[in-house]
Structure 1
Amino acid sequence: MRRIEIDDEVFSYLQSRSEPLIDTPNDVLRRELLGDSRPSSEAVRKRRPGGLAPLIEAGLVSAGDVLEHHQSRLKRTHTATVTADGWIEIPDGRAFSRPSPALKAQTHTVINGWGQYTHVPSGRKLQELREEAAAPMN
């Protein structure tokens, strides 16, 4: 790996294009210059478990499961995929630790991802699955 120096203005640009606590400057440069939207494998290994990790641990959701949100008025359907570490990956390759920021990135509006994303395999809202995973076992 080679090292380069960049000025403060370029660094500020890289920060404005990064997903905080996820992207490295190299990830941003790869995305901007090479069109590679995937974070480096090192960044993926280092990230904390995502918000859907408890649902995976409870056996309610699996890696690779599809999430869907339909905007009926706009006639748009947004999909996302659950990753093995409980993150939500949207079709452009960006991954989010929680559902609401993922859905905001897709709809361009603040929206409750827990209440709006449907887990396609079960047909249930993520909020319902989260409540089930948090319920004490009898």
Structure 2
Amino acid sequence: MIKLSVNGEESEIDVPADMPLLWVVRDVLGLTGTKFGCGIAQCGACTVHLDGEPVRSCVTPVSSVGSRAVTTIEKIGDSELGRRVQQAWLDDEVVQCGYCQSGQIMSATALLASNASPDDKAIDQSMAGNLCRCCTYTRIRSAIKRVAQS
């Protein structure tokens, strides 16, 4: 049995130690906002936070999480910063197909939590691992700047 804290809820789950956190979140806990993209940590669709830091859940074995708090897209809007990021996404009409957006929002929220006024270089560095098939990168940058300026 593995003990896990996801979105503030403690769970004890019976899964293999090497099971990716992504599948625990989606298939065991039923939180389907975190998406499977590539399975090799290259696209960012599966981004969640571990103690506030963005990680790729598709390559993170559940046994490596330990006592760190897991936050998914379902919970990010409970924080003031998360709500502001989500609202900026709506205001700047970032979403097209939407598939990558939970990972994009998780990465953007982590960036803004650590750097309230990121410049273009910081945004590029922080968001570089998040791919968007619809190429809404300009709107993503605009939404991040909107939050930074508010």
Q: TM-score normalised to the size of structure 1?
A: 0.35
Larger radius of gyration: 1
Structure showing the higher helix proportion among its residues: 2
